[in-house]
Structure 1
Amino acid sequence: MLSKMRKMDNKGFTLIELMIVIAIIGILAAIAIPNFIAYRNKSFCSAAESDAGGISAAVADYFSIPTHVNTPTVAQLSGWKGYNFTRAGLSNANHGGIVGGDPNDNITITVTDGSGRCPDDYMKASPYQWDSSGVRDGWDSANATYYKFISLQR
């Protein structure tokens, strides 16, 4: 019987080999898919932080002109020198704002995550706060808003 099977010259995989491969693929997928989703959600947070950085650069560019002495709004910066901070210009339907009074003081740039997919644990890991050196950029997890602080003192 054994010699008869050898003569048939069967090629291929056995059922157990295929089941082992499928089990390995299933285990890898069970580990990889949740991690992929977590990294993807964290990218929404990074997009809001990047939007705040873009607005910050536009504010610095705005104040580089000596005649600009009042704090601009996001609407004023949009379209100026090619900047686009309208709702279509920010990532993932994020909302941006600039808060500041005296141009010799501080400006606060806020960007709210419009996707609603930035994880709470990411936001709580880097909260904004006032400290001895002034302020620190960070997240307000209750409002899903990223705060970026700029000191304009000359």
Structure 2
Amino acid sequence: MKSMKMMKKQAQAGFTLIELMIVVAIIGILAAVAIPAYQDYVKKAKFSAALAEVTPGKMGFEVALNDNKTPVLAAATGDTEWFIGVQASNTNSTVTLTEGAAGTIVGTIVGGPAGIVGESITLTRDEGTGKWACTTTVEQKFVGPVETCDGV
């Protein structure tokens, strides 16, 4: 009788190999779904950070035009009174400018995952209406709704 009780106790201890394999398979399936979704989230966040850095350049551009100044990059002249966009190191984008009343502000995304690094966000000012248009080379699924870029 003692030997039967001992065998039952030994049989109930631990996990079987098949149970462990099932758990590993479930974890693998979850990882296969979660990792690409996370990468897309990171790309969307990087685009938003770049757009957030480029967009304030519109205000500097408009202020410079209203004060009869030529909009220039602050980094190009060191002038902080009439500038378009300060080169911020932690927002991962750079700003360049085509001068004139119908100017263009271009932010190039630096750093981040492949598929978004090196892409650009372009804000273009219509000289006649003063309205800004936004275009981007970033794949639309990372931009989000069309209003995200076009409604800037």
Instruction: Tell me: CA distance 1:98–1:57, structure 2 relative to 1, closer, same or farther (3 Å).
Output: same
Q: Which has the higher contact order (CA 8 A, sep 6+)?
A: 1
Partner of 2:71 in structure 1? 72
Partner of 2:110 in structure 1? 114
Partner of 2:91 in structure 1? 91
Measured on the aligned residues, the alpha-carbon RMSD in Å equals 4.2
Instruction: Spell out, residue by residue over 1:109-149, the C-alpha distance to the aligned partner (whole angstroms, 9 max, x if none).
Output: 211223375637xx7xx9989xxx976311146xxxxxx89
Instruction: Tell me: CA distance 1:2–1:16, structure 2 relative to 1, closer, same or farther (3 Å).
Output: farther
2:28 to 14, 26, 29: 26
Identity, in percent, stands at 30
Aligned mates of 2:54, 2:91 — CA distance in 1: 10
Aligned mates of 2:122, 2:104 — CA distance in 1: 15
Please say if residues 96 and 111 of structure 1, whose CA atoms lie closer than 8 Å, have aligned partners that are also in contact: yes
Deviation at 1:95, TM superposition (A): 2.0
Deviation at 1:16, TM superposition (A): 1.6
Please say if residues 78 and 85 of structure 1, whose CA atoms lie closer than 8 Å, have aligned partners that are also in contact: no
- Structure 1 gap ranges (5+): 142-147, 150-154
Partner of 2:17 in structure 1? 15
Q: How many residues align?
A: 128
Instruction: Spell out, residue by residue over 1:47-78, the C-alpha distance to the aligned partner (whole angstroms, 9 max, x if none).
Output: 22111113224445x359x6x22232121687
Aligned mates of 1:59, 1:127 — CA distance in 2: 14
Aligned mates of 2:34, 2:113 — CA distance in 1: 19
Q: TM-score under structure 2 normalisation?
A: 0.58
Aligned mates of 2:48, 2:89 — CA distance in 1: 16
Aligned mates of 1:45, 1:96 — CA distance in 2: 14
Deviation at 1:101, TM superposition (A): 1.6
1:52 to 26, 51, 54: 54
Instruction: Spell out, residue by residue over 1:3-26, the C-alpha distance to the aligned partner (whole angstroms, 9 max, x if none).
Output: 442245843322221111111001
Please say if residues 64 and 71 of structure 2, whose CA atoms lie closer than 8 Å, have aligned partners that are also in contact: no
Please say if residues 96 and 110 of structure 1, whose CA atoms lie closer than 8 Å, have aligned partners that are also in contact: yes
Deviation at 1:27, TM superposition (A): 0.8
